[in-house]
Amino acid sequence: MSDYRALEERIQSVLGAPRRPVAIAFTDVAPQGVARFEGSEPSSCSFWRIAAGGRTFYTVPSNHFNCPIGGYTHNALTADRMPELQQVLTLMSDIGYVRMEEVPGVFHMQEPAQVIVYSPLGDAPMAPTVVLAAGKPARVMMLAEAATRAGAMSSLPLLGRPTCMAIPAALSGGAVMSSGCIGNRVYTDIGEDELYVVLRGSDLERIAQEIDTIYSANQTLTQYHQERRRTLTTA
């Protein structure tokens, strides 16, 4: 198994954020020694906040029923829960937040998972399906550039609402960036000045290997552009 603690340290070296990157694994069986989540959370992305804070645990589909949107993107909703999804979408449509014709374009998991394992990346008990992290735009930019250099960046533009669709979007085409949505920001406490980046677990080592090169290149280019600004600005 990969050295996930070293990979976390490498990612944190470029993000410079206090919040730890979160490893998420979609699987059929809970790994040995990992506790099932006990309690209730209002959203699927709430589990990101808990894992970023240091806890390792797993959820089952019913843990996601409080969040019709997250339940949809995770393909966790049962037939009897679909009316709740329609109610939430109707509310969002009525207040002008979303148009119903946009809904088919929302990414969602193609296959449901019986178990979803959450942990800080450095404590991952199994290979992550995706890794998500939040940080300042300039820092997230460099991690995205590392993914591009590794050939692991998707061609998708910056994603918006809902934030949780970034997980299936990344799985379908490579690393994605998300501006976050208001629900996610309430449930996860990320700052107004932060963005998300979501990486495929299978690409993680290749991306990490490019971080030092990208960071160094950005330092050099900072000096280059500062000098050009100094010498070429006449107004």
Give the CB-side neighbour count of residue 69, counting CA atoms within 13 A. Answer: 22
Closest to 79 (Cα-Cα) out of 65, 100, 58: 65
Counting every residue written for the chain, the total comes to: 235
Least confident interval from 13-27, 73-87, 167-181: 73-87
* Mean pLDDT calculated for residue range 89-95: 87
pLDDT in tens, 31-45: 999 999 999 999 999
- The ranges assigned to domains in the chain are 4-232
Is it the case that residue 19 has pLDDT exceeding 70? yes
Query: Tell me, what's the pLDDT at 102?
Result: 86
pTM of the entire structure? 0.93
Least confident interval from 13-22, 73-82, 172-181, 192-201: 73-82
Confidence band, pLDDT 50/70/90 cuts, at residue 58: very high
Query: Tell me, what's the pLDDT at 197?
Result: 97
Residue type, 48: W
Q: CB under 8 Å to 73, separation ≥6 — which residues?
A: 44, 106, 107, 108, 109, 162, 164, 165, 167, 168
- Cα angle value 49/137/158 (rounded, 5°): 85
Residue listed under structure tokens 């804070």:
53
> Does the bond joining 162 to the residue before it have cis omega, within 30 degrees of 0?
yes
* Mean pLDDT calculated for residue range 195-199: 97
Is it the case that residue 3 has pLDDT exceeding 90? yes
Q: CB under 8 Å to 219, separation ≥6 — which residues?
A: none
What are 101's two structure tokens?
């014709």
- Could you give the maximum distance between any two Cα atoms of the chain, in Å? 67
pLDDT in tens, 146-182: 999 999 999 999 999 999 999 999 999 999 999 999 9
Confidence band, pLDDT 50/70/90 cuts, at residue 1: low
Specify the higher pLDDT residue, 207 or 100: 207
